[in-house]
Structure 1
Amino acid sequence: MTALWLTRIQPNLRHRDARRDLSSAVAMHHRIMQLFPDGLGAQARRQAGALFRTEDTGPTPVVLLQSQLRPDLDQLPTDFASSVTKDLSPLLDALRPGLPVRYRIIANAVRKPGHTTRAATGAPAVIPLTGAEADEWWQRQAEEHSGLHLSTAHSTPLDSARGQRGQDQRRITHARTQFDGAATIKDPDLLRQRILDGIGRGKAYGCGLLTLAPTRQAA
C-alpha cells in the first residue's frame, strides 16, 4: 500500500511570513519543502511526493499539501498557520472502475509548439491556454492520460503562480486554471499514478494536484 498524506494548512494572515509565502509560489515551495527531511537529493520534491495548491474560495486562503512522506508540521514557524494531516491511503485503495467521483485540480494548461512551428512562426516554447483551449487540454489529460471519464467540467481562470528563484534570480510564471466537476473512474491504476505524480507543468509551484472525493449515490 502506497503511503499518501493530505495536509490542510490555513495560514495566519497576521503573520508576516505567511503573507509573504502566499504572495510568492517560490516562497511557498520553499516553506513546503522545509516540512520534509534533509538529504532527499536533487529531486527532493519528487522524493517526498510533494504537491500543493492554494485555494482562495473561503474567507481565508488554504494550502492543500499532498505528500508520500508525512510532513513535520512542527517545522512551521510559531503562529504561522493552523494545520492538520490525514491519511489518504484508504482513498487510493478504494478507487475502482465505475466509481463516480468529484474532482478538482489547479493546472498549468499549456501547448508546446514543435521546433518547426517555432522556427516558422516565432512562437514561444510554451503557450498558456485559456478558455475552450484550456478545457480541451484538461479533457485530454483526464480521459487519455489519467483514467477518468469526465461527466462535467467547469473551468475558472486564476492569477498566475509567480515568484523569483533565489539561486539564479529567475522569474517564475505559471498560468493557472482551476477545473472542477464530476467523473467516473475508467482505469484505477493509471489514476493512482497520476494522483501521486501530479498533472502538467509547474508542480513545484502550486499546480498539478488532483484531488478526488467519491460521490454519494442514492440508495
Structure 2
Amino acid sequence: MSLWLTRIIPDPRSREARRDGTNAVDLHHRLMSLFPDDIADTTARQDLGVLFRTETTDDGGHRILLQSSLPPDLDRLPSGYGPGTTKSLAPLLDAVRPGLAVRYRIAANPIRKPGRTTRELYNLSAVVPLRGAAADDWWTRQAETAGLRITALHSTPLDAARGTRRSDQRHIRHDRVQFDGTAVITDTEALRTRLTGGIGKGKAYGCGLLSLAPHRGDQ
C-alpha cells in the first residue's frame, strides 16, 4: 500500500486559489485535475484514494493537505496558484503497530440519521449535524472502529464545506468539526483501512482525512 501526502500553500493573489478556498466543489475538481485523465470520473476519487483537508496556518494563511495513492502532478496547478510539496507516507505506515501512542487530527462530518418516527415526532431533517458532546461521542465511536483508543480529545467547529455540483447543480453542504488529540493504536489493519479510505461522509469535499504522527508524552 502506497500513500502520498501533498501540502499546497495557496497564494492569496491567485484568483483560482481564492475561488477554490470558498468552494469545496471547485477545490475537489482542482485536486482531481492533478491526476491522470484516464480514470473513470465516477470512481476516480476512490481509485486514487484522494482525501483532502484545508487548514489555517500559524501565520493566518491557509494550506491544503492532499492524500492520495499516487503522487499528484503539481505542474498541473495554474500558474501562480501556490507552491506544493509531496512526500511518501511509507515511514508512517511502516511504524503503525498496536500500542503505539499517536497524535491525530481529522476534519469530519459528524451526523446522525434519525428514523422516520423520530423525525416526525421532533420535526427533524433526515440528516442531523452533531455538535459539542454529541460530536465528540461520534468521533470516539468512529475512532474505536478505526483501531484507535482515544486518550485526549479537543473539538473545534469549522465552517461548513459548501459548493454547487457541476453535474446537476445540486447545492452541497457538509458541516465540519475538527478533532485533535492523542490516541493509542489497538488494531493495525483497521487503522490502515481507515487511513486510506477516510472516515465519515463528505470525503469528496474536504472531510474524513485522518492524519497521524507519533506522540511523545513530553510534547
With the shorter chain as reference, the TM-score category is: over 0.9
C-alpha distance in structure 2 between counterparts of 1:110 and 1:57, whole Å: 27
Q: SS of the residue aligned with 1:21? A: helix
Moved >6 Å (runs of 4+): none
C-alpha distance in structure 2 between counterparts of 1:142 and 1:34, whole Å: 31
What per-residue deviation string (whole Å, max 9, x for no partner) do you get for residues 163-216 of structure 1? 111221111100000000010000011000000000000000000000000113
CA deviation after TM superposition for structure 1 residue 77, in Å: 0.8
Structure-to-structure mapping, 1:26-41, within 5 angstroms: 26-41=25-40
Residue identity (%)? 59
1:55 aligns with 2:58: no
Residue equivalent to 2:19 = 20
Provide the TM-score with structure 2 as the length reference. 0.95
C-alpha distance in structure 1 between counterparts of 2:114 and 2:139, whole Å: 18
Q: 1:157 is matched by which residue type in structure 2?
A: P
Residue equivalent to 1:184 = 184
5+ residue gaps, structure 1, are none
Residue equivalent to 2:196 = 196
CA deviation after TM superposition for structure 1 residue 21, in Å: 0.4
C-alpha distance in structure 2 between counterparts of 1:175 and 1:57, whole Å: 21
C-alpha distance in structure 2 between counterparts of 1:3 and 1:166, whole Å: 31
C-alpha distance in structure 2 between counterparts of 1:114 and 1:78, whole Å: 49
Q: 1:17 is matched by which residue type in structure 2?
A: E
5+ residue gaps, structure 2, are none
C-alpha distance in structure 1 between counterparts of 2:57 and 2:12, whole Å: 15
Residue equivalent to 2:44 = 44
C-alpha distance in structure 2 between counterparts of 1:73 and 1:193, whole Å: 26
Q: 1:88 is matched by which residue type in structure 2?
A: L
Residue equivalent to 2:114 = 113
Provide the TM-score with structure 1 as the length reference. 0.95
Q: 2:164 is matched by which residue type in structure 1?
A: Q
Residue equivalent to 2:101 = 100
CA deviation after TM superposition for structure 1 residue 125, in Å: 1.4
What per-residue deviation string (whole Å, max 9, x for no partner) do you get for residues 13-38 of structure 1? 00000000001000100000001111
CA deviation after TM superposition for structure 1 residue 65, in Å: 0.2
CA deviation after TM superposition for structure 1 residue 89, in Å: 1.6
Q: SS of the residue aligned with 2:152? A: coil
